[in-house]
Structures are given as structure tokens and as C-alpha cells.
Structure 1
Amino acid sequence: MTSGKVRWAIVGTGGIGKRTVGDLRLCPDAEVVAIGSRSRANAEAFAQAHGLALSFDDHAQLCASPDIDAVYIGTPHATHFALAAQALRAGKHVLCEKPLTMTGDEARELGRIAAEHGVFLMEAMWMKFSPAMRKAVELVGQGAIGEPRLLQAGLGYPVPPDGPKRFWDAALGGGALYDMGVYTITLAQMFLGRLEAISVTGRTQPDGVDLEEAITLRYAGGALAQLATSITCLVPPRGWLGGRSGAIDFLEPLFSPGGLKITTGKPPAPPAVQELSFAREGAGYVPMFRAVNAAILAGSTEHPLHPVSATAEVLDIMQRIQAALAQERDARSAG
């Protein structure tokens, strides 16, 4: 980073890795220099396709390279903890695809390792950094819709049985919850405060892969979130937040909203409606990458918009949901 740029390696040669290269290259303080994969052939092919100087099929060697400052981990969920821990202990900054880990305790352990080694760590929750979501947070903070009371959000789509293994392999963290439900739960946590209770119903396979779920979260003060996700049917990627004096609609896609619709007023008077649209930079990751690069160059070990503690809270909730779904499945089987 002596040049004022963060030198990035991408771990994983799938679709996420390809989008990451393009969006990092839109950040003037970032340089993509390397790719890591379990396969030498895949690593070399990716490096050639994207003009990268370095390619690795050994994660330890990647982490030991003096030419790399930070790694972006875009591999299946269940591999995140081990890959991130190894990179952090080698003194590399880490930005990792959601979910950061499979449990809250694993996330907290990664946070401890990052702090111990003085390096940056964050789950790549790009939704929080999108211009639309930043504006929504600002509006709620200003009281534009009054006290938030009810949030509804959904995200899902049918994944064929021969689709990506990360959806269908329990050992990889498969299912709807960890891949897509993480967004809706994070959204609720952003706006509704302290969680008090969880109720959920859904369908889970015997191997633990959850197919779909409807979740209700109750917060201190009585606010509610109703969330839905699925890998068996289409759940449009959008949501809304209702307050005592108005509402905010998050336009599609929820994980990087293209706009907001703000409705205020009190019936029977006609509502006032304001619509805001936001241009997308690259594939939508650019605002997050820009913020992370700035934090790394400033010597921070996490970002205030998405600290590790927030990630761990969401993972704790997902573990409770997963346990409840398994209990429901077992009860149905016994009946």
C-alpha cells in the first residue's frame, strides 16, 4: 500500500469473482493483482482472462505473498471461516462474501483475530453501502416516516436441483436462509432495534437444506418484521418499512435498491409521494469497495456501517431460525 492503493487478491473464480474484478477496478485506490482457486487451471484461466499478474492454487501461498494487501473471499459459505482466519493471521485485510461465517461465534472469533493482527475485516454486505439504503437510513434518522413499526421484505428464486451446489449441499451451507435470507434479516436489524422474539415456519430437507421460510421477528417496543425467502419459488427482491407517519418502499433489487418511494401523510388526506432513483456503479459493489479501501488505508480494523458485531448478531438469529426449522421438520416427521 506504499503507492496509496490497496492490492487485492480474489479468492474464488465463480461469478462473484468476475463481478468483483470489474467493480474493484472502478475504485482508483484499489488494484486487483491476484486470483486464488483450488484448481491451478481455473486460477490461470481467470488470471489470463482478467489480466492479473499472479495466480495461486494454494491459499497459504497466496496469503504469504508480499504483493497482496487484502483478499476478497467469494467461495461457498462453509469455507469462509478457515480461509478468512488464515488470511487474517498472515496479516491480510479481509472482505468476505455473505454470510461471513456459519455461526455468530465464528464471526466473533474472526473479529478477535483481525483485532489481534491489526487488519481489517468485514462481511461484504453491499446492501448497507448502496446509495439508496444510505438515503433510507438518513430519512429514518430525520424522522421522515416517524417511528418504524413494521418491515416486510422478501428475496428468493427457484433454483433447479442441478443448479449451483452452494444452494443444495448442506456441507457448503446450502439453503435459502444463509444465501438470501441474510439480506432480509440484516435489513430488519438496521431499522428496528433490539430483537426480542422469533417465530418461523417453512420447509427443510432431512439433510438440513432449508427450501423456504416465512419469518416473523418481534422487537423491543413492539416493532415487527415479516420476512420470506425461498429456493423453490420466486419471491420478488423488494420490501418496505412502515412508520407512524409514512413508509419507505425499497425498489428492486433489495440487495442494491435502484430507488426509494417515500409516502407520507395521514388519511383521508391524499398522501405525499416522493420517488428517488439512484444510478448503479458497476455491478453495485463499488460504494462498498470505496468505503472499505478508505477504511483500510486509514488503518481501521472494521467499518462503522457494518461492524463484525452486527454480522454476528444476524448470524445468531439465523442459527435460531435454522434450529426452529429443524424442530418443525422433525415434529412433522414424527407426526
Structure 2
Amino acid sequence: MADSTVRWAIVGTGGIARRTLGDLRLVPRAEIVAVCSRSEESADAFAAEWGIERGYADFTALCADMTVDAIYIATPHGTHFRYASEALRAGKHVLCEKPLTMTAAEARELKSLSVEQDVFLMEAMWMKFAPSMRRALELVESGAIGTPMFVQAGLGYPVPGDGPERFWVAELGGGALFDMGVYTIALAHLFLGVPDAVSTIGEIRPDDVDLHESYTLSYMNGATAQLTTSITYAIPPRGSVGGTAGSIAFGEMLFAPRSLRLMTGTPPQPPRIEDIEFEQEGAGYVPMFRAACEAILAGDREHPFHPVSATIEVLETMELVRAQLIAQRDAS
């Protein structure tokens, strides 16, 4: 890599790319050198708008560009595996929007490719890199709320039927679970670990696009996570963690909380409450992009705070949720 700078290419020119591009530019030792879209016209227009040197309509040609070190994939969920696998085979480092893939098996294959090619791979789970989330983990590890026993989280909003195809087309990863459930389940895994049992109710269409679901993750030690997602009705974008000595409640939005409330103490004494605010860098993606750049420059092949194994575990839980939704639909 030139002068210890990670030279990035962006794949996708839609809303996600536009929301994140400015944050990547705020990261030291990161340079955006190329963009790829499905059409030359779109790629060139995006490159001109953002001052990017090269635009590509051919992903294979992008992967052959020797001036590109790393590729950030910001396309619909159903395209992630195809782009990520080709990029890894070309020897490019990969940061891919969540969920990394549509199945755990695909994620395992990508992990194997990253090992074989000796390149970095990470799912872009920006929520985990938010300062508030890191602080919450420090509080839990210090024993501030005792043993974590409960996680509650929800995300949802009514998406118009003529809204973005990524919500409504099964092949693109449509549905609430792939778009929002990945956050709620990642939160539960972060504080409680992999569940021992999953119980789900909800609605999924014949084309396998899920509309809404409520799912409970249960653990052998008695811990529980209650999670809800929807693309047909609004759900407050919040999350919290409860323990044997207190609780932590995250401010909105769940995927990039800028505050948390620590509540400790036991009755009959009144609770001790501490509100902690956090500065947000850019749109909130900067900590994740910085972590990816630092790991790549250090020669790491995954980030210890969000390894691919954690992504695979979340996908396995998501598969259990979807399987139960499909079984309930087919039995009715």
C-alpha cells in the first residue's frame, strides 16, 4: 500500500454509499480512488460529484486495478457474497455492508477465502464501533450492572410498497430481518452471547420477504433477549441491557447511539442514574472505518472486536428466526 495509506474503492452509488463516503474521507490514511456502479454513466456521475479519480461499470476491471487496496461494498444484501468473493480472490481487502452475506455458509466461505488470500475481511457493523457501545461494554466488564441477563431492542418503520427494492425483493435480501434484525441480534450476541434457543412469531410472504417479527433468544443461565423488527410499522429504535445490579439504556438511534443511561442500585434506595453523552464523528461511521484501516495497515486479517466468527454466529441466529417464520407460514 502506497505510503501506508489504504486506497479504497466504493462499490455502489446509492443511499448507503452517499451516507458513508464522507465519513471514510475523515479517516487518516484512507484515500478513495475509485467507484463502481452497474452503469458507466452512474459511476462517472458519482465520481465527478465526489471528486473520485476513476469510475467503473465492470467490477472485474475494478478488482484488477492495482491502485486499489481495499473495497467497501455498499450494495443490496443479496449482492454481497458475489462481490466480496470476487474481490477477495483478487487479493483485495474487503469491508462489506451488513449483513455480510445472506447465509452463514456464504460467510464461512468468505472467511476461508480471506485466509487463503491473506487479506482483511469485515462486516460493516458500525453499531459495535460506536463510542457509546464500547463504553457500555467497558461498564459491563467492570461489573457496573452485575451479570447481564436481559437485552431488549427494536427497529422498524413502515416502508412504502414502492420504496427501495432492497426492502421488497427477496433476491436482494428484502425484509425486516436482513435490514434491521441484524442489528438487534448483534446487540444480543454482544452482551449475552450465542443463544441456546430461539422462539419467533411474525409474518413472512410467500416470496420469503419477512414483514415483521418478534423473537426471543433464551440462554441456559436464564438470560433472555426480546427483539422486534418490522418494515410495516414503526418500532422505537432503542436498545437496553439489564443486569443483576443495574441497567444500561442506549439513546436513539440504536445503530449509532450518542448517549447511554447507566442506572444502578437496589431498592429500597433510589436508583443512581448517570447520563453519558458522546460526540459523533461525521455521520457515525468514522470509528468503524478507522478501525478497518488500522487493522489493514497493521497486517491483521480481521478485526478482534468484530471478527468474522461473530458475523457467522449472528447469521446462524437469523437463519433460525427465518426458518421458524417460514414453518409457521407453511403450516397455516
Task: Please state how far the C-alpha of 1:20 moved relative to its aligned partner.
Answer: 2.2
Question: Which residue number in structure 1 is paired with residue 74 of structure 2?
Answer: 74
Question: Which residue number in structure 2 is paired with residue 142 of structure 1?
Answer: 142
CA distance in 2, matches of 1:2, 1:150: 47
* 1:191-206 paired onto structure 2 within 5 Å: 191-206=191-206
> Number of paired residues?
332
Identity, % of aligned pairs?
Answer: 61
Question: Which residue number in structure 1 is paired with residue 119 of structure 2?
Answer: 119
Task: Please state how far the C-alpha of 1:94 moved relative to its aligned partner.
Answer: 0.2
CA distance in 2, matches of 1:215, 1:49: 43
Contact 1:193 1:220 in 2 (8 A): no
Q: Which amino acid aligns with 2:249?
A: D
CA distance in 2, matches of 1:33, 1:190: 34
CA distance in 2, matches of 1:250, 1:327: 34
* 1:222-241 paired onto structure 2 within 5 Å: 222-241=222-241
Question: Which residue number in structure 1 is paired with residue 10 of structure 2?
Answer: 10
Contact 1:12 1:35 in 2 (8 A): yes
CA distance in 1, matches of 2:78, 2:219: 29
Contact 1:194 1:220 in 2 (8 A): no
Contact 2:6 2:30 in 1 (8 A): yes
CA distance in 1, matches of 2:105, 2:166: 22
Q: Runs of 5+ in structure 2 lacking a partner? A: none
CA distance in 2, matches of 1:257, 1:2: 35
CA distance in 1, matches of 2:276, 2:17: 30
Question: Which residue number in structure 2 is paired with residue 164 of structure 1?
Answer: 164
Contact 2:194 2:313 in 1 (8 A): no
Contact 1:130 1:287 in 2 (8 A): yes
Question: Which residue number in structure 2 is paired with residue 47 of structure 1?
Answer: 47
CA distance in 2, matches of 1:133, 1:106: 28
Question: Which residue number in structure 2 is paired with residue 88 of structure 1?
Answer: 88
Q: What are the Cα deviations for residues 118-144 of structure 1, in whole angstroms up to 9, with x where unaligned?
A: 100000000010000000000000000
CA distance in 1, matches of 2:324, 2:291: 36
CA distance in 2, matches of 1:261, 1:224: 20
SS of the residue corresponding to residue 190 of structure 1 reads: helix
Q: What are the Cα deviations for residues 250-296 of structure 1, in whole angstroms up to 9, with x where unaligned?
A: 11011011100000000121100000011111110000111110000
CA distance in 2, matches of 1:284, 1:193: 25
CA distance in 2, matches of 1:225, 1:194: 11
CA distance in 2, matches of 1:317, 1:46: 37
Task: Please state how far the C-alpha of 1:3 moved relative to its aligned partner.
Answer: 1.3
SS of the residue corresponding to residue 296 of structure 1 reads: helix
Q: Runs of 5+ in structure 1 lacking a partner? A: none
CA distance in 2, matches of 1:50, 1:193: 41
* More displaced stretch, 18-27 vs 151-160: 18-27
RMSD: 0.7
Q: Which amino acid aligns with 2:119?
A: V
CA distance in 1, matches of 2:28, 2:194: 38
Question: Which residue number in structure 2 is paired with residue 250 of structure 1?
Answer: 250
Q: Which amino acid aligns with 2:293?
A: N
Runs of 4+ more than 6 Å apart: none
Question: Which residue number in structure 1 is paired with residue 323 of structure 2?
Answer: 323
Task: Please state how far the C-alpha of 1:331 moved relative to its aligned partner.
Answer: 1.6
Q: Which amino acid aligns with 1:205?
A: R
Question: Which residue number in structure 2 is paired with residue 212 of structure 1?
Answer: 212
Q: What are the Cα deviations for residues 105-158 of structure 1, in whole angstroms up to 9, with x where unaligned?
A: 110110110011110000000001000000000000000000011111001110
CA distance in 2, matches of 1:16, 1:168: 17
Q: Which amino acid aligns with 1:325?
A: L
CA distance in 2, matches of 1:249, 1:208: 33
Task: Please state how far the C-alpha of 1:329 moved relative to its aligned partner.
Answer: 1.0
Q: Which amino acid aligns with 2:170?
A: A
Per the normalisation by structure 2, the TM-score is 0.99
